[in-house]
Copies of this chain bind each other. A is one copy, B any other.
Amino acid sequence: MGGDHGPSVVVPGVALAAARHPGVRFLLHGDEAALNAELAKCPAAKAVSEVRHTDKAIAMDEKPAQAMRRGKGTSLWNAVESIRAGEAQGVVSAGNTGALMAISKLILRMAKGLERPAIVASWPTARGITAVLDVGANVESDAEQLVEFAIMGAAFHHAVHGSTRPTVGILNVGSEEAKGHDEVREAHALLRETKLDLDYHGFVEGTDIAKGTVDVIVTDGFTGNIAVKTAEGLARFFANELRGALTSTPLSMLGALLASGGLKKLRARMDPGAINGGPLLGLGGIVVKSHGGADAKGFASAIRVAVDLARSDFLAEIERNMERLTAVVADRPTEAAQGVSE
């Protein structure tokens, strides 16, 4: 539940998802009266849903620490708890991201061997979809964490975007070996020498994101968050400028009308809702964050991500690669001295 719109978006989103994923059933955690009112309007959702009432909720602006302390019994808490209880295979929430992360870590713990979670953004590119992570779960990431992001991102891309052997790049200020700070260069060395079940491409630059040079782009949460929000702002700016350009004169307006078919397709390509759904990776369960402002179609897209992850070999794949990484890291006695340091 949660998000800017609550049940009025979640329930129609479930209806869309139900048509797309036969056999999937939904537990809806939240205010019974509000949920039932929406379900009454939406028989397709009602047929596959069960309501779990609670009148407690976590506010969108609540701090994660506070949410953890007083979160018990809220819709968000109960949803995550239903994974631990074995009632659900995944959670989708449009609520408070920080709270979702904190409560999920508390209840589900990290998956075996992983140090830090990561949030993934799926980015439409010239060649398909590129997964960028971390986009905000951490503000700093050391070399080993960056390698963990590579492993998680590859498993995610394989499960959700269908690549057979995902290509992975590390985001840097240039593609030459000597570029960047210690963390990215050390992660680069680790990915070069560890035989992981992914195709490590090397360093990539900011321009490579939209080009789709690789399937997975790895970066620290600070840089990733700023890259993804910069792009979001720019997409909105372009959309406004385009609207302005096409309504500036009567002739432009007529032109826009004639070109509306093509422009509609363009809007769909540029619509972030079309690939909404950022999983919180690294946890001992499947948790997907839907954008707070997403519409029903966007929410259904987030559900799709959770369903694809739940039906895949995703967690086992991460575990296999983590074992290989651990073996390599254990074999590097001087690693700490050799400067993964600050």
Which residues of A does B touch, CB under 8 Å? 125-126, 136, 139-140, 171, 173, 179-181, 205-211, 219, 221-223, 225-238, 240-242, 244-249, 251-263, 265-266, 269-270
Say yes or no: A261-B270 contact (C-beta < 8 A), given A240-B126, A242-B242.
no
Residues in B neighbouring A245, C-beta threshold 8 A: 259, 262-263, 265-266
Give the CA-CA distance A180 to B180 in the complex, in Å: 20
Distance in Å from the Cβ of A274 to the closest Cβ of chain B? Answer: 13
**Is the beta-carbon distance between B266 and A242 smaller than 8 angstroms?**
yes
Q: Could you tell me the distance between the alpha carbons of A237 and B228 in the complex, rounded to whole angstroms?
A: 15
If A242-B266, A246-B259, A249-B262 touch, whether A139 touches B233 (CB-CB below 8 Å) is no
A262 and B252 contact, CB distance less than 8 A: yes
Which residue of chain B has its CB nearest to the CB of A125? B237
- Pick the contact of A262: B180, B219, B235, B246 (CB < 8 A): B246
Among all A-B residue pairs, the 4 with the closest Cβ atoms = A206-B229, A255-B259, A255-B258, A207-B233
- Rounded to whole Å, the gap between the CB of A240 and the closest CB of chain B is 7
From B180, B207, B246, A230 is in contact (CB under 8 Å) with B207
A249 to B258 alpha-carbon distance, docked (Å): 10
Q: How many copies does the complex hold?
A: 2
B255 touches A260 (CB 8 A): yes
Knowing A210-B237, A226-B223, say if A173 contacts B136 (CB, 8 Å).
yes
In the complex with contacts A208-B233, A221-B173, A259-B261 CB distance below 8 A: no
Query: Can you report 17 A-B residue pairs in the complex whose CB atoms are below 8 A from each other?
Result: A136-B173, A139-B179, A139-B180, A173-B221, A181-B222, A210-B234, A211-B237, A222-B223, A227-B230, A234-B235, A235-B238, A244-B262, A248-B262, A255-B258, A255-B262, A256-B259, A258-B258
- Chain A binding site: helix, strand, loop or mixed by DSSP? helix
Please state if A238 and B240 are interface contacts (CB–CB under 8 Å). Answer: no
Q: Are B270 and A241 in contact (CB under 8 A)?
A: yes
Which B residues are CB-close (under 8 A) to A125? Answer: 237
Please give, as numbers and ranges, the residues of chain B lying within 8 Å of A265 by CB-CB distance. 245, 248
Question: Contacts A180-B139, A206-B230, A227-B230 known; A259 to B251 CB distance under 8 Å?
Answer: yes
Q: Distance (Å) between the CB of A294 and the closest chain B CB?
A: 16
Expressed in whole angstroms, the Cα–Cα distance for A228 and B133 within the complex equals: 18
Which of B181, B225, B230 interacts with A210 by CB under 8 Å? B230
A223: chain B residues at CB < 8 Å are 222-223, 226
Report the minimum CB–CB distance from A140 to chain B (whole Å): 5
Contact assessment for A241 and B226 in the assembled complex, using a CB-CB cutoff below 8 Å:
no
Shortest distance between the CB of A341 and any CB in chain B (Å): 13
Q: A245 CA to B266 CA in the complex, in Å? A: 6
A251: B residues at CB distance < 8 A: 258-259, 261
Give chain B nearest CB distance to A304 CB in angstroms. Answer: 23
Contact of B266 with A249 in the complex, beta carbons under 8 Å = no
Contact B229 A205 (CB under 8 A): yes
Q: Which residues of B contact A248 (CB under 8 A)?
A: 261-262, 265
